[in-house]
Every structure is written in structure tokens, then in C-alpha cells.
Structure 1
Amino acid sequence: MKLSFSGAGFRHPTFVLALAVMLGATMAEAKPKISIVEKTYAVDATTASALVKQMGQRGPNGYWAYTDWYVNWTGNCDLSVKITYTMPKHKNEAKLDPAVRENWKTFLVALRQHEEKHGTHGIQAAQEIEKTKCANGNAVIDKWSKQDKVLDKRTDHGKKEGVVLN
């Protein structure tokens, strides 16, 4: 059975390690298998308002960033989660005014943290499916998919968490 969910929103070993510890496992024991794919799209505007416009136009599905998680399980209940993060990447940050560059960097950190919350939902879905020995997997996927929507509604797609560029 293969199911996925996309949440509006580079392999980072510290994040994976922190996530495994947070979820109560060491890297060697971490189940299900977690793979992370990093994608970017280019922006090159030099003002905050122009960057906002470009991200709206060039970002995945009209979002500034996007997280897609995909849970896969076998008949033996071997689970894996593939998390794909798509984030903006400036072609030449040196062209940004120093104040805009500082805001851009802060924005990217907050945006990444928000997207990682979506990724965590995929891992939690897989862990819950594993605990039930792969029973009711579709219902679990639906539950965590809804949590992605709740997260975005509660945080206004991260704006309440600092995902602001001005």
C-alpha cells in the first residue's frame, strides 16, 4: 500500500538525528526508514515585496515552500517515509540590501522550521501505522493529512511562526 500527502510547505543530518531522538529512537533503531529529498526553486528579486511576488509565482503549487510526505508499507509491514522539501533559493544573496538579506535569512529559517513540522507528520503517520501492524493505514494517513491542514490554519501557513518577509 502506498499513500502520500502533500503539506503546504538538502539532506540535513542534524535534523534527522534530532527528529529520531525526539521521537524516541536512535538513528540505528529509527523505524520506519526515513528518506529526505531537498528541492529548490530559484528567486532573484532584490526587494522583499518582489521576493514575495516571485515566490508566489514560482513556488510549488502557489506556496512559498512545500512539503510532500509519502508513506509506503509492504505486506510484511515494512514502512518507509519519503519526505520532499521544496524551498526557495536566492540566485545571488549578495545582491540583496543588507537589511533585506538579514530578513531573508531569518525568513528561510522560520520557513524551514514550519515545513519540518509537516515532515514530522509523515513520520508520525508511519510510526502509527507500524504500531497497528499496518492495520487502518488509510485512516492514519487521513488523520495526519488533516493535521497538516490544521497546522497551516493555526499558524496561517507559518506567518504566526515568523514566516514573514518584509
Structure 2
Amino acid sequence: MRLWLSILLAGAACVLTSPADAGVTVLLKTRTYAVSGETGADLIGAMGRTGPMQGFMTRSVAQTTYAVDWNLVTQTAGRACRIVQAEPTLRLTYTYPEAGDLTPALAKRWKVFLAGTRRHERGHGRIAIDMVADAAGKVAGMSLSDDPFCRRLRAAAHRRIDAIKAEYELKQQAYDRKEHGPGGHVEKLVEALIAEP
């Protein structure tokens, strides 16, 4: 069972960024990859062979990835520079397996498995959205008194964004530890999928 688990969602890739309220734009994309099999174990094996790469050596069943573009709107007054608005755009991508031609019993278990997998990935997405919202709020209003071209202020803002991102990466990791741990959500999904009637 542990082998299937490590093959399965060996740590869905993390997300770190974006808010759907305070001036944040979230661009959502969903990708799929094909798997096939006659049993739940077959499907788990197919995901382990063809799922999205997680690092250099491991594949995961599903994955959440992101990229954030920041538009920092600045205003100068004399030699002073201030960030009056932080406008992040989060490009959030979910990748899921897709299976066809399943027996009715396996299709029913697959549907439950996929719904649970989507729920797990959306959890990563929520953490990313919270991170971006947090960063946007903490960057807007930053200022420097002697930075007429705003270069130092922009660099300082990106350092702050990176620090906040690192904090939320720890939250992503804690979320995965809970979800993937013994008796966790992911283990239960795998067990239900490979259970034969």
C-alpha cells in the first residue's frame, strides 16, 4: 500500500501565489493526461508511469503549479518613491489524470478518487491564492525617501514577496504532510480505488 502511495501523489507540486479579491487576477487552467487499466491498481500504476513530473525522478498523480506576474504601480514625489498598488496576476494550472473505458464498478470508484484528488489540488490552489493576497497587501504602501527611479524600492518589494512565498511554501508542505500521512485523505483515496469488490 505504501508503494502505491508514494507512486500516487508523491507530493503534488506546490502553488504559491494570488488573490481573487484585492486587485488580484487569477487565471485558471486545467490539463489532463490519459491513463487506462482494468483495475484500480492498474490505474495507479499508469499514473506512476505517465503522471506529471515532480522534480527529476518522481511522478505524481496530480499537480498544481503556478506563476505570478507582479505589476507594482509606483508614484514619486521629489526623490521619494511609494508603491501605491500591487497588482498580481496568478497563473494557476491543475493537472489531473483522465481515464476512459472503465467497467461500471471501476468507473464509480474512479469518480470518487478523481473528486478527492481535485479537492486535494484545490487545497494547494487556495494556499497559493492566500499567499498572493498576503504579499499584495504587504507590498502596497512600501516607500523609500531617496529612490527617485524606484529601483531600490522595487527590489525591496520583490525581496518581501520572496520571503512571504517562503512562508507559504512551508504551509504547502504541512498541508501535504497531513494529506499524505498515514490515514490521511490521499491514502484513503488510494485504498478505495484499488479495493476490489
Shorter-chain TM-score range: 0.7 to 0.9
Aligned residue among 158, 163, 166 for 2:189: 163
More strand by share: 2
CA distance in 2, matches of 1:70, 1:40: 19
Aligned residue type for 2:127: H
The CA distance in 2 between the partners of 1:81 and 1:158, in whole Å, is: 32
Deviation at 1:121, TM superposition (A): 1.3
Residues paired across the two proteins, number: 140
Q: CA deviation at 1:142?
A: 1.1
Matched, 1:8 2:7: no
Percent identity for Structure 1 against Structure 2: 29
Tell me the TM-score normalised to structure 2 length: 0.65
Separation in structure 1 between the aligned mates of residue 37 and residue 51 of structure 2, nearest angstrom: 14
Change (3 A) 1:115 1:82: same
Runs of 4+ in 1 over 6 A off after TM superposition: none
Question: Where does residue 34 of structure 2 map in the other structure?
Answer: 42
Segments of structure 2 that go 5 or more residues without pairing to the other structure are 1-10, 14-18, 54-58, 74-85, 141-156
Query: What's 2:94 paired with?
Result: 85
Map of 1:110 onto structure 2: 116
- The Cα offsets for residues 7-37 of structure 1, whole Å up to 9 and x where unpaired, read as 715xxxxxxxxxxxxx8x7xxx563100101
150, 158, 161: which one aligns with 2:174 = 150
Aligned partner letter, 1:40: T
Pairing 1:56-95 to 2, within 5 Å after superposition: 56-61=48-53, 62-76=59-73, 77-90=86-99, 92=100, 95=101
Report which stretch shifted further, 131-140 or 147-156.
131-140
TM-score, L = length of structure 1: 0.76
Indicate the residue corresponding to 1:31 in structure 2: 23
Bigger Rg over Cα: 2
